[in-house]
């Protein structure tokens, strides 16, 4: 076998430049895979979250100046809609500056959440958008006892993590199924349960006008962060659309929806906790008018029967 290998080697030498000829210089660069792809940011640490929380102070200053362009620049996602419209509509001051935060730090490096415990408990979601941190949602007033962050590095189990990703769909299913045929339930006193009762009663409120209500996912990603191995905090956004028309034989609305145009909509930002044992429980909820709603100095909308109200509720 050794003789055969030597013969083969000699033949290859004859077909090439020759075994005795000096080889051409070749540079070989060792490719070492990066531990973290460049497109994936490392998880947010507490120091980064603390600095990013300062966006709220910038927003406070923008509100003080009524600089709605600055408010728009400092916000993204749902808050770009809710905060921008509230800035244009507000007549009486601005939101109080939040403080005393604790942070919820997910594995993802492009967002985190905070609970500001002063002046009253409320959740905030911050998103790394472009070259800076911006406010994506908040304040989302806390419902019940505020949630506490999990221990550093805690990871949720696979089952509860899967349940958490399904929370937006469960909200959608529940709010579009008043009869409860699909079996989705929320505990008594839960804000989502109250929201369903409100939506179910609106057609009777505007009678003899006719009212159609459509609930859909707002296109925001479900943001999840582990609180323990068996529980997860989830933030998601819904859009509720309203279409109000005059009743039979009428050309004008008799009972316009308060705070909305005849074809208005609102955004609902939800904070929920889901566990392996229980379905989602709402721990925070914020609602505000989306484009097409009242609250601004839009004479055309007011002329269509829209009743202006304070949009920040």
pLDDT tens per residue across span 154-210: 999 999 999 999 999 999 999 999 888 888 999 999 999 999 999 999 999 999 999
DSSP-derived secondary structure for 97-154: PPEEEEEE--S-SSEEEEEEEESS-EEEEEEEETTEEEEEEEEEEB-SSPPPPPPTT-
Q: Residue 13 falls within a domain, yes or no?
A: no
More confident residue, 65 or 102: 102
By C-alpha distance, which of 106, 116, 97 is closest to 46? 106
Residue 291 confidence (pLDDT):
65
Q: Residue 221 falls within a domain, yes or no?
A: yes
- 275-279 long-range contacts, CB within 8 A, separation 24+: 275/160, 275/163, 275/230, 275/231, 275/232, 276/157, 276/159, 276/160, 276/163, 276/230, 276/231, 277/230, 279/163, 279/170, 279/184, 279/185, 279/186
How many Å is the maximal CA-CA distance in the chain? 105
Q: Residue 309 falls within a domain, yes or no?
A: no
Q: Residue 161 falls within a domain, yes or no?
A: yes
**Residue 274: pLDDT over 70:** yes
Hey, what are 195's tokens?
């929201």
CA 274, CA 107: separation in Å to the nearest integer? 18
Q: Residue 27 falls within a domain, yes or no?
A: no
**Residue 256: pLDDT over 80:** yes
Q: What is the pLDDT of residues 212-221, one digit of tens each?
A: 999 999 988 8
Task: Return the SS3 of 258.
Answer: strand
Residue carrying the six token digits 């045929």? 181
Hey, what are 23's tokens?
């080889």
For the chain, the domain total comes to: 1
Q: Residue 22 falls within a domain, yes or no?
A: no
pTM attached to this predicted model: 0.79
DSSP 200: H
Q: Residue 1 falls within a domain, yes or no?
A: no
DSSP 5: H
- From the number of C-beta atoms within 10 Å of its C-beta (0-12, 13-18, 19+), residue 23 rates as exposed
Radius of gyration of the chain (CA): 28
Q: Residue 147 falls within a domain, yes or no?
A: yes
Upstream peptide bond of 139 is cis (omega within 30 degrees of 0): yes
**Residue 254: pLDDT over 50:** yes
DSSP 270: E
Residue 85 confidence (pLDDT):
61
* Domain membership of residue 84 as a residue range: 46-303
CA 240, CA 213: separation in Å to the nearest integer? 7
Mean pLDDT in residue range 81-87: 72
């Amino acid at each position: 076998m050794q003789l055969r290998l030597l013969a083969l080697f000699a033949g290859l030498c004859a077909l090439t430049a020759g075994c005795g000829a000096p080889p051409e210089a070749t540079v070989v660069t060792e490719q070492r895979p990066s531990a973290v792809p460049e497109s994936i940011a490392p998880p947010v640490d507490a120091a980064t979250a603390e600095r990013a929380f300062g966006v709220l102070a910038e927003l406070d200053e923008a509100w003080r100046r009524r600089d709605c362009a600055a408010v728009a620049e400092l916000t993204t996602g749902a808050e770009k809609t809710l905060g921008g419209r509230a800035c244009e509509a507000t007549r009486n001051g601005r939101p109080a500056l939040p403080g005393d935060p604790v942070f919820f730090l997910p594995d993802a490096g492009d967002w985190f959440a905070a609970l500001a415990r002063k002046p009253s408990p409320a959740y905030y979601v911050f998103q790394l958008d472009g070259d800076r941190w911006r406010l994506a949602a908040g304040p989302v007033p806390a419902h019940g006892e505020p949630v506490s962050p999990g221990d550093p590095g805690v990871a949720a189990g696979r089952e509860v993590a899967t349940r958490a990703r399904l929370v937006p769909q469960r909200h959608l299913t529940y709010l579009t199924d008043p009869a409860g045929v699909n079996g989705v339930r929320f505990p008594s006193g839960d804000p989502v349960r109250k929201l369903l009762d409100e939506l179910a009663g609106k057609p009777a409120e505007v009678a003899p006008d006719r009212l159609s209500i459509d609930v859909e996912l707002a296109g925001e990603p479900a943001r999840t962060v582990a609180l323990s191995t068996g529980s997860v905090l989830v933030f998601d956004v819904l859009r509720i659309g309203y279409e109000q028309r005059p009743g039979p034989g009428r050309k004008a609305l008799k009972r316009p929806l308060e705070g909305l145009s005849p074809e208005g909509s609102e955004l609902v930002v939800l904070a929920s906790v889901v566990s392996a044992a229980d379905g989602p429980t709402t721990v925070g909820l914020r609602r505000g008018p989306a484009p097409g709603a009242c609250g601004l100095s839009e004479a055309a909308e007011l002329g269509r029967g829209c009743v202006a109200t304070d949009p920040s509720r």
